[in-house]
Amino acid sequence: MNNRKLILVFALLLSLGMVLAACGGGDSGEENSGSDNGSENGDNAANEDSSDFSAAMVTDVGGVDDKSFNQSAWEGLKAWGEEQGLEKGEGFDYAQSNDDADYLPNLNTLVRDDYNLVFGIGYKLADAIKEVSEQYPDTHFAIVDEVVEGPNIASITFADHEGSFLAGVAAAKKTKTDKIGFVGGTDSDLINKFESGFRAGAKTVNPDIEIDVQYAGAFDAPDDGKMIASNMYNNDVDVIYHSSGATGNGVFAQAKDIKNNNPDREVWVIGVDRDQYEEGQIGDHNVTLTSMIKRVDHSVQEVTNMAMDGEFPGGEVLEFGVEDEGVGLADTNEEAYTDDIAEAVDEWKQKIVDGEVDVPQTIEELESYLESL
């Protein structure tokens, strides 16, 4: 009996030795360098995850083809995906929100689809991002145009007021009626930044200029945008700056209608978030004076790369401004955006960079700024 036990133990030990030898042979191959770094969990995770890292985004109600904010973000995510050799739905994707109630379920769906990084595009997703990020602490989240606190949330912001200041300079230099307009989406702290900067820039160039400010109350109401623009243009406003997402499509539509009926009349639109030159094309004319570009595309691409490389800026607030080309004006329409306008914009841009101008971000700061002129 004892001999049988000894034989059994010997057989088990021999089998175990063979298994260990096989495992040892595997480790000494191409996996060996990875095992050497096993104690450095962060680097190892980054190297391991980079090959199958995935990212997705949730739009606000403006939609992924809003010709503005969401579209720019999607272009950035697509550019990242193409760099990695990925295809839509296989490594990167988006979820469309048609209503505010879609934010939470869309975020949850993308998390459950195992995306490593999920973006919320626009400040309206702030509450939903906060809630979902707490439920899924191992997932990276990023929100564009808002600050949301959380160790697994990166907040991407822009110096909208600085870019809008330059838009105001351009509008003041272009107008022939000394009447310009601003169309906002919702009357909120964020859009007030655009309004404040725009009014400050225009008034800095011409303190006597008249500025008509109106809010549509939504970012997905092009009919309302068209009606507001119609009223403004009928009151001799000849340049309108919109910060209203898809609502701004109506502003462009109205300007093009006017130009179509009277090619000699000069009416202009200043686009927002991305270069909206194409939105202003009508025959041989183009009503887009310029666009206040926010490099949402670059910021989304940059943060995605950071996360993929194991350097996700969780808990940080990133701001992209004039100095680092995070915001600025497009010069695509060379016939409209003339050299004198470009020179004036460059002059005031440099003053912002040098700290000579402290651009107001709120209506209260704007009032103080205007009093100092």
For the chain, the domains span 52-158+298-308+311-320, 160-293+338-368
Residues 201, 204: Cα–Cα separation, whole Å = 5
CATH assignment of 52-158+298-308+311-320, among 3.40.50.2300, 3.40.50.1820, 2.40.30.20, 3.30.70.20: 3.40.50.2300
DSSP designation for 247: G
- pTM (2 d.p.): 0.77
Instruction: Give yes or no on whether 52-158+298-308+311-320 and 160-293+338-368 have one common fold.
Output: yes
Residue 221 DSSP symbol: -
Spatial distance between the Cα atoms of 343 and 340, rounded to a whole number of angstroms: 5
Amino acid at 67: K
Query: E strand or H helix at 144, and its extent?
Result: strand 140-144
Give the span between the Cα atoms of 255 and 280, in whole angstroms.
8
CB 38 within 8 A of CB 31: no
pLDDT value at residue 69: 86
What does the H/E/C string look like for 88-133?
ECEEEEEECCCCHHHHHHHHHHHHHCCCCEEEEECHHHHHHHHHHH
**Digits of tens for pLDDT over the chain (373 positions)?**
444 443 333 444 444 344 334 444 333 333 333 333 333 333 333 333 456 999 999 999 989 998 888 999 999 999 999 999 999 999 999 999 999 999 999 999 999 999 999 999 999 999 999 999 999 999 999 999 999 999 999 999 999 999 999 999 999 999 999 999 999 999 999 999 999 999 999 999 999 999 999 999 999 999 999 999 999 999 999 999 999 999 999 999 999 999 999 999 999 999 998 899 999 999 999 999 999 999 999 999 999 999 999 999 999 999 999 998 899 999 999 999 999 999 999 999 999 999 999 999 999 999 999 999 9
How many other CB atoms are there within 10 angstroms of residue 126's CB atom?
Answer: 18
What is the distance between the alpha carbons of residues 126 and 317, in angstroms, rounded to a whole number? Answer: 14
Q: Which contiguous run of DSSP H or E holds residue 202?
A: helix 189-205
- CATH architecture of the domain 160-293+338-368 equals 3-Layer(aba) Sandwich (3.40)
Please name the residues in contact with 46: beta carbons below 8 A apart, sequence gap of 6 or more.
308, 309, 310, 311
pLDDT on residue 259: 97
| Identity of residue 108 | N
Query: Are the C-beta atoms of residues 93 and 110 closer than 8 Å to each other?
Result: yes
Residue 324, pLDDT score: 87
pLDDT at 51: 61
Looking at residue 50, its pLDDT comes to 52
Residue environment code for 52-68, b if the CB has 16+ CB neighbours within 10 A, otherwise e:
ebbbbbbbbbbbbebbb
